[in-house]
Amino acid sequence: MTVNGAPGTLGTRVREGDEVRVDAQRLPARGRDVYIALNKPRGIICTTELDVPGNIVDFIGHRERIFPIGRLDKDSEGLILLTNNGDIVNEILRVEHGHEKEYLVTVEWPVTDTFLAMMARGVRIGGAKTKPCVVTRAGTDSFRIVLTQGLNRQIRRMCSALGFRVQRLARVRIMHICLGSLASGRWRDLAPSEIRPLLAARNARKTSE
């Protein structure tokens, strides 16, 4: 195998526009990297298993083979990223990288200062205490919360432990990427200015390893 005329080895990276030949035969060009922001509606399931009704891949219907970066529960809504570039996934998902994810949450009871303070300090769920986080009031019965960890159904479990039930949960930001005015059920390609920090962070970590 050769890549742009040079011998290829295990781990050789192939980028858009590279010429790849196997036994002197040129392979089809690699498709472009895809990065999508979707405002996921409630009821859509973040799985690539096409036999699951309501799966996110069929919902979007993109021509490229894409997959979600992380997940949102079926009953949750809001921002989720999808890509065909597996290299970027660990950079976004690994807890030790400390990337922020922001949510707008509505609960069944009016939120109190005590509730907000307890959420911010961390709540014991599943035998462990969640990490301290930023929590601010958004309305009488709603609040914003910024997490740097992603335990299964974390916000719902935190609220439940304090006697509150979540009525609506929407993710509005992942790192520097915001949901903005994107309508429910709609998706958009990430802008170059949104993609560059993701690639820069990934490349910086690879250089340091």
Report which residue type is found at 80.
Answer: I
Q: Which residues pair with 134 in a beta bridge?
A: 146
Instruction: Report the distance separating Cα 99 and Cα 157, nearest Å.
Output: 21
Catalytic residue among 23, 33, 58, 73: 73
Secondary structure of residue 99 in the 3-state scheme: coil
Q: Is 73 a catalytic residue?
A: yes
- Alpha-carbon distance 40 to 174, whole Å? 14
Secondary structure letter of residue 32 according to DSSP: P
| Strands 20-22 and 25-26, bridge-based pairing | antiparallel
- Looking at the annotation, which residues are catalytic? 73
